[in-house]
């Protein structure tokens, strides 16, 4: 789980391409909010995470996704047949791998535009350059934000509104929220909370601090983020890790081997000394803000329960 795979840039290939159909005076667009529950009417405007109104004259039929999380949301809303472009990193569900590719985390805007999409779903921050280029080309881009669980749930609603599937989107949101609430309630009765360190790499040591998406996941699963204060650039020194003394480290299997070789950690870091490394069943289910989030949180919660059970006399 390298942090580098979470950060990307996009190619700026500015192409003049017009997607919008002008409205007639007899059919003024209806303003809606992403959490509207009624069946969508057209023409309509949908407001994205930037507060920008995007015009739709009919339900989108050709959709391009610029991030794996948005691809998962689209398929969860049963829109897979309408998806005509995804990134190289879009690996779930398996059908997504068969879709035309529009680049990796560096989006090839020319490949996007050649698909003639009537909806492009992008993620704020991650797709900044691609968004700029595509909007200059007059492409219909809806931007969502997934920096927190709350924003992720809103992203599902917004995509549901943009695609004319608000009811299925509300169901997906409800299922995610109910599952997370149940997990958190079950973990609340435990006697103590393990200190958990999210570790993306060892050179440099990248982590996740308080207030982040992963910080929320750790707390819901019954742990405490070992990084309880913001650190510049989300980078730690080896000495800082020893001071933090995490009980559990979340990392990839390849990174685990590197962690075990870090000088002093085998004796000075409890997680390393006791070989408490958590690996989700699928690498992406914790770091990818998608409808599969509860699965990853449940797996982490189950692992933390095992850790707590191994030290029954320890207190909070």
pLDDT at 265: 97
Is 145's pLDDT higher than 50? yes
Residue (of 176, 180, 216) closest to 198 by Cα position: 216
Render pLDDT for 77-136 as a digit per residue (tens, 0 to 9): 999 999 999 999 999 999 999 999 999 989 999 999 999 999 999 999 999 999 999 999
Domain 3-177 in this protein, CATH class? alpha beta
Q: What Å distances lie between residue 227 and 64, 212, 224, 285, CA to CA?
A: 36, 11, 9, 21
Name the more confident of 46 and 27: 46
Is 159's pLDDT higher than 80? yes
CA trace torsion 206, 211, 213, 219 (10° rounding): 100
CA distance 84 to 96: 10
CA distance 17 to 109: 11
Render pLDDT for 204-252 as a digit per residue (tens, 0 to 9): 999 999 999 999 999 999 999 999 999 999 999 999 999 999 999 999 8
Could you tell me where in the chain the CATH 3.40.50.1980 domains are found?
3-177, 190-310
Query: First-to-last CA distance in the chain?
Result: 30
pLDDT class for 61, splitting at 50, 70, 90? very high
pLDDT at 308: 93
Domain 190-310 in this protein, CATH class? alpha beta
Average pLDDT over residues 43-60: 93
Q: How many residues does the chain have?
A: 316
Contact 247, 203 (CB under 8 A): no
CA distance 53 to 171: 24
Average pLDDT over residues 53-80: 96
Contact 120, 142 (CB under 8 A): yes
CA 278 to chain centre: 19
Residue in the structure block whose two tokens are 């085998």: 266
Record the tokens describing residue 84, joined without a space: 């005509």
pLDDT class for 26, splitting at 50, 70, 90? very low
pLDDT at 38: 58
Between strands 235-236 and 205-206, the pairing is antiparallel
């Amino acid at each position: 789980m390298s942090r580098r795979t979470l950060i990307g840039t996009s190619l700026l290939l500015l192409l003049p391409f017009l997607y919008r159909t002008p409205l007639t005076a007899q059919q003024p667009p209806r303003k809606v909010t992403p959490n509207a529950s009624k069946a969508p009417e057209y023409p309509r405007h949908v407001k994205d995470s930037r507060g920008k109104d995007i015009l739709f004259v009919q339900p989108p039929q050709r959709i391009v996704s610029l991030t794996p999380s948005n691809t998962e949301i689209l398929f969860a809303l049963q829109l897979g047949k309408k998806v005509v472009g995804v990134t190289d990193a879009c690996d779930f569900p398996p059908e997504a791998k068969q879709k035309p590719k529009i680049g990796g985390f560096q989006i090839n805007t020319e490949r996007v535009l050649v698909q003639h999409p009537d909806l492009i779903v992008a993620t704020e921050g991650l797709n900044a350059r691609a968004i700029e280029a595509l909007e200059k080309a007059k492409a219909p881009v809806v931007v969502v934000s997934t920096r927190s669980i709350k924003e992720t749930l809103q992203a599902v609603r917004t995509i549901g509104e943009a695609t004319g599937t608000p009811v299925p989107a509300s169901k997906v949101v409800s299922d995610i929220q109910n599952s997370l609430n149940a997990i958190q309630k079950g973990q609340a009765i435990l006697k103590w909370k393990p200190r958990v360190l999210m570790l993306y790499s060892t050179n440099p040591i990248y982590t996740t601090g308080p207030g982040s998406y992963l910080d929320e996941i750790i707390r819901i699963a019954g742990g405490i983020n070992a990084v309880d204060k913001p650190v510049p650039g989300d980078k730690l020194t080896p000495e800082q890790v020893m001071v933090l003394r995490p009980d559990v480290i979340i990392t990839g299997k390849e990174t685990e081997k590197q962690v075990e070789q870090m000088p002093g950690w085998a004796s000075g870091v409890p997680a390393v000394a006791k070989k408490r490394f958590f690996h989700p069943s699928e690498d992406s289910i914790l770091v990818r803000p998608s409808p599969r989030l509860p699965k990853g949180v449940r797996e982490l919660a189950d692992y933390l329960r095992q850790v707590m059970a191994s030290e029954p006399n320890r207190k909070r």
